[in-house]
A = this chain, B = another copy of it.
Amino acid sequence: MSKQTLAPLFKLEENKREPKVINGFYQKDIISVNQFTKDDLAYIFARADEMAEMAQRWGTCDLLKGYTLACVFYEPSTRTSSSFIAAMERLGGKVIPITEGIQYSSVSKGESLIDNMLTLEQYCDVIVLRHPEIGSSASAAKYAHVPIINAGDGAGEHPTQALLDLYTIQSELGKVDGLKISMIGDLRYGRTVHSLTKLLAQYDVSLRFVSPDTLRLPLDLMNDLIDRGINVRETSRVSDVIENADVLYVTRIQKERFTDLLQYEEVKDFFEITPELMTRAKEKMIVMHPLPRVGEIHYKIDRDPRAAYFRQVQNGMFIRMALLAAVLGQA
Q: A interface vs B, CB < 8 Å?
A: 1-3, 6-10, 12, 15-17, 21, 39, 42-43, 46-47, 49-50, 53-54, 57-61, 63, 65-68, 70, 73, 76-79, 81-83, 85-86, 89-90, 94-102, 110-112, 115-116, 118-120, 122-125, 291-294, 299, 302, 310-311, 313-314, 317, 325, 330-331
Q: Residues of B contacting A46 with CB < 8 Å?
A: 1-3, 6
**Interchain CB contact under 8 A, A123 and B47:** no
Jot down 13 A-B pairs with beta carbons below 8 A, ordered by A.
Answer: A1-B42, A1-B46, A6-B46, A9-B50, A9-B330, A10-B50, A10-B63, A17-B57, A59-B66, A59-B68, A76-B101, A89-B95, A122-B311
The 7 closest A-B pairs by CB, nearest first: A76-B101, A59-B66, A122-B314, A86-B123, A3-B46, A89-B94, A122-B313
CB distance from A144 to the nearest CB of B (A): 11
Q: Which residue of B lies closest to A49 (CB)?
A: B3
A58-B66, A59-B66, A66-B59 known; A9+B120 contact, CB < 8 A: no
| Copies of this chain in the oligomer | 3
Q: Is the beta-carbon distance between B59 and A125 smaller than 8 angstroms?
A: yes
Could you tell me if B83 and A123 are in contact, using CB atoms closer than 8 angstroms?
yes
- Known contacts A68-B90, A76-B101, A101-B78; A331 and B292 CB within 8 A of each other: no
State whether B291 touches A9 (Cβ < 8 A).
Answer: no
Measured in the bound complex, the distance between the Cα atoms of B19 and A143 in whole Å is 42
The answer to whether B53 and A12 touch across the interface, beta carbons within 8 angstroms, is: yes
| Chain B residues with CB under 8 A of A89 | 68, 94-96
A86 in contact with B96 (CB, 8 Å): yes
Q: Which of B65, B101, B111 contacts A77 (CB 8 A)?
A: B101
Apart from A1-B43, A86-B124, A123-B313: 13 A-B pairs, beta carbons within 8 A: A2-B42, A9-B325, A12-B58, A17-B59, A59-B68, A59-B125, A60-B68, A77-B101, A78-B100, A78-B116, A82-B96, A83-B123, A122-B311
Q: B12, B53, B65, B83: which contacts A60 (Cβ < 8 A)?
A: B65
Measured between beta carbons, the chain B residues less than 8 angstroms from A47 are 6, 9
Distance, CA A65 to CA B89, complexed state (A): 11
Residues of the B chain whose Cβ atoms lie less than 8 Å from the Cβ of A115: 291-293
A68/B86 contact (C-beta < 8 A), A1-B42, A102-B78 known: yes
Contact indicator A9/B54 (Cβ below 8 Å) = yes
**A330 CB to closest chain B CB, in angstroms?**
8
Name which residue of chain B comes closest to A293, CB basis: B115
B94 touches A60 (CB 8 A): yes
- CB–CB A1/B39 < 8 A: yes
Q: In the complex, what residues of B have CB within 8 A of residue A77's CB? A: 101
* Bound CA–CA A291/B119 (angstroms): 9
Q: Which residue of B lies closest to A54 (CB)?
A: B10
